[in-house]
Amino acid sequence: MSSFSRSAQQWATFARSWFLIDARMQPPGKIASVCSVRLQGKHKPIYHPLSDIGDHVVVMNTRHIAFSGNKWEQKVYSSHTGYPGSFKQLTAAQMHKKDPTAIIKLAVYGMLPKNLTRRTMMQRLHLFPDDVLPDDILRNLTEELPQPREIPRKLSEYTQEERDAFPMLWTPPEDYRMK
């Protein structure tokens, strides 16, 4: 790389990458924080807030995000257009049904710096509800980011040998009745 000319080295250092992240079974807040770091360019040692060196982030499977707790029913997204009588409140479940990408979009929007560069960074965020991506975006992808949350396995995904090998604290007798 040291054999590059000055202009080629500059072009390489300031190149914009495309990242892919799969949001299946992930909490949208964790996905959003990873996205906001990459959109601002904070993962680069050449970061400066004025430099506009953020990368593109493509999020797929936003329809299959997983809120923890009861947030699907309890988290409320409010909006007001300014006209009287137009205060709308939607639960996360209703919002997600109306638009499967809106939750992650709002989460990333809230995590970016509140200045004029935020809109440009949001333009570089690409959200897709399923894992069908258009060709031109597929061709640009350079790296897949690891998922922030480790997905726990369902009981049906464990083999019988693993289930037998799991240590039991005590073995109940044959006629023990579980409540």
Alpha-carbon span 129 to 65, nearest angstrom? 10
Query: Which of 64, 63, 94, 60 shows the shortest CA–CA distance to 76?
Result: 94
Contacts with other proteins, 85-124, as mask; x by CB under 8 A: ----------------------------------------
E strand segments, 14-97:
18-22, 56-60, 76-80, 87-91
**What minimum distance in Å lies between the beta carbon of 65 and other proteins?**
16
Q: Does residue number 79 form part of the binding site for other proteins (CB under 8 A)?
A: no
**What minimum distance in Å lies between the beta carbon of 120 and other proteins?**
19
**What minimum distance in Å lies between the beta carbon of 168 and other proteins?**
35
Q: Give the H or E element holding residue 71.
A: helix 71-74
Residues between 16 and 45 that touch other proteins (CB under 8 A): 17, 20, 22, 44-45
The answer to whether 52 touches 120, Cβ cutoff 8 Å, is yes
Q: Does residue number 143 form part of the binding site for other proteins (CB under 8 A)?
A: yes
Hunting for tokens 């006629």 — which residue is that? 175
> Which residue ranges make up the site for other proteins (CB under 8 A)?
1-2, 9, 12-13, 15, 17, 20, 22, 44-46, 60, 131-133, 138, 141-144
